[in-house]
Amino acid sequence: MKKIFSILILFIVLQTSLSAQYFEAGIFAGVSNYQGDLAPNIMEVSGYAPAFGAFGRYNFTGHFAVKGHFYKGLLKGSDHNAQISKGHRTRNLSFQTDLYEIGITAEYNFINYNIATKEHVTTPYVFAGISGVYFNPQAELNGQWYDLQPLGTEGQGLSGYDAPYQQFTIGIPAGLGVKFNINEKINVGLEFGIRYTLTDYLDDVSTKYPDLKILAEEKGDFAAALSYRKLEYDPNLVEDPTGMERGDSSNNDLFFFGGITLSANIGKVKDFRTRNGQPIKKKLPKMEF
């Protein structure tokens, strides 16, 4: 049974390799952005930051391709940019994080991307897939930056509270783009994709304020100060925030990548045109003696 299964897998791989036409290697440059508790508005202008990466694309046909990618971006948000009507500014919270994503997506070209004709081809396309995402939210206090996850700003790790959240999560990339070939070897494109995540902690904000006295005793005064930051603009404020809403856990965080792609075709680019469902074979020139 194992031999039969191995032979089947080998057959599929060989068939895929034979039907696949060519491979691309490329780079990405653009911007990243985020939506979450510290940026409730979609594509908040203040949240744009540089992003870059690299990718490889395997073209099976003129319509279907698979792309593997590694992208890096910066996500940031602040209550100073939040809606006053929701009272978010009074929290005085902010964050930023370097974000790393490695993923794989399937692409569908609406127009047959057959560049072997040596004609300029342009096609819009859509894509969807899965990715792994690493993040590390930080915040600044008195001129010094602190990693927030180890501090448990919502009580994570303390007795009676949740365990610390993971800094690795799953992303679901989906989006659209447009690409065209400069020539048989070079392609350029524009791409925009949203990433749905399985975490609400890209910004370190999700649930309720912990007991600040216990947090200060366990993690230090600076941990309590980074959890509850209202006193920075109102030192005379007297309240016990324990159990009060700090974030909205009903929705997970999202992030975005958008920018320009540039890729080079590696190997021989074959012709995707067909006649009666079969690839067109180029006729060999007649030899005259």
Question: Which residue, 58, 60, 108, 127, is CA-closest to 272?
Answer: 60
Domain ranges of the chain: 21-144+165-198+246-268
Please report the pLDDT score of residue 159 as a whole number.
92
Mapped onto helix, strand or coil, the DSSP state of residue 223 is helix
Give the whole-angstrom CA distance, residue 257 versus residue 53.
Answer: 10
- Residues pairing with 59 in the sheet: 22, 65
Rg (CA), the chain: 25
The pTM of the whole model exceeds 0.95: no
> Looking at the predicted structure, is the pLDDT value of residue 286 above 90?
no
Is the pLDDT reported for residue 45 higher than 90? no
pLDDT at 72: 98
Residue 89's pLDDT is 60
pLDDT band at 43; cut points 50, 70, 90: confident
Helix (H, G, I), strand (E, B) or coil at 245: strand
The token pair at 277 is: 């469902």
Confidence of residue 5 (pLDDT cuts 50, 70, 90): very low
CB 156 within 8 A of CB 231: no
Task: Give the C-alpha separation, 89 to 83, whole Å.
Answer: 7
Q: Which residue has the tokens 């975005």?
A: 256
CATH topology of domain 21-144+165-198+246-268: Porin (2.40.160)
Q: How many CB atoms lie within 10 A of CB 27?
A: 14
Provide the β-strand partners of residue 171. 131, 197
Beta bridge partners of 189: 179, 261
Mean pLDDT of the chain: 86
pLDDT digit string, tens, across residues 216-226: 999 999 999 99
Q: Tell whether the model's pLDDT for residue 197 goes beyond 50.
A: yes
What is the spatial distance between Cα 54 and Cα 52, in angstroms, rounded to a whole number? 7
pLDDT 10s digits, 248-279: 999 999 999 999 999 999 977 766 665 444 45
DSSP letter, residue 166? P
Angle CA(9)–CA(11)–CA(17) in degrees, nearest 5?
A: 105
Residue 35 in this model has a pLDDT that exceeds 80? yes
pLDDT value at 283 more than 90: no
Q: How many CB atoms lie within 10 A of CB 178?
A: 15
**Two structure tokens written together for 79:** 């209550």
Give the residue-averaged pLDDT of 57-85. 87
Who wins on pLDDT, 10 or 59? 59
DSSP symbols for 84-119: GGGTGGGG--EEEEEEEEEEEEEEEESS---GGG-S
% of the chain at pLDDT higher than 90: 68
Residue 165 pLDDT greater than 90, yes or no: yes
